[in-house]
Amino acid sequence: MSINDVIYRIAHGYPGGIKALAARMDKSPAVLQNKVNPNCDTHHTYAEEAAQIADLADSDDLAKEYCARRNMACFHITEHQGASDMELLDLFINMEVEKADWLKTIQQSLSDGRIDPGEAARIKKESRDHIAIIAELTSRIDGMVQERRKVAREK
């Protein structure tokens, strides 16, 4: 799928459709329809408009498509204010579960001595899931560092 196709899909999936989205963007529905139409040569969506569409629709699909196109990972990094011992333990366990899923997918894919496109896609998905949980764990640890600094300042 192309980035223009993703923009079209996000815009048309907006609650109330193009008309409602156009109103939020202060554009006429006809102009927005032409801008998101991948087959229209006279109107084009600027990068800021594409980001606004994704923001208004609360969609990560545009970012994910761009990352896939660039062979990059896309995941949320949540800011946390510390973590309990149990939450950290759960994150470490989840990280290892994701790692195991990723390795199992690779093992299964290589069982016949070759990797087909579907298997490669599954390996990429599992690797992104693994990276995402590592990022969440790192964010939790960062939250704990900030918490300690606050405690040290209060003393």
Q: Torsions phi, psi of 110, nearest 5?
A: -85, -5
- pLDDT score at 142: 78
Note the pLDDT tens digit of each residue in 46-86: 999 999 999 999 999 999 999 888 888 787 777 666 677 78
Note the pLDDT tens digit of each residue in 86-119: 888 888 898 899 899 999 999 999 999 999 999 9
Between 11 and 67, residue with greater pLDDT:
11
- Of 125, 96, 122, nearest to 110 by C-alpha is 122
- pLDDT score at 74: 82
- Give the Cα separation of 14 and 16 in Å (integer): 6
- pLDDT score at 146: 53
Question: Does the pLDDT of residue 147 top 60, yes or no?
Answer: no
- pLDDT score at 151: 54
Q: What is the DSSP letter of 26?
A: T
Locate 97 and state its tokens.
Answer: 């579960």
Q: What is the pTM of this model?
A: 0.64
- Give the Cα separation of 10 and 38 in Å (integer): 13
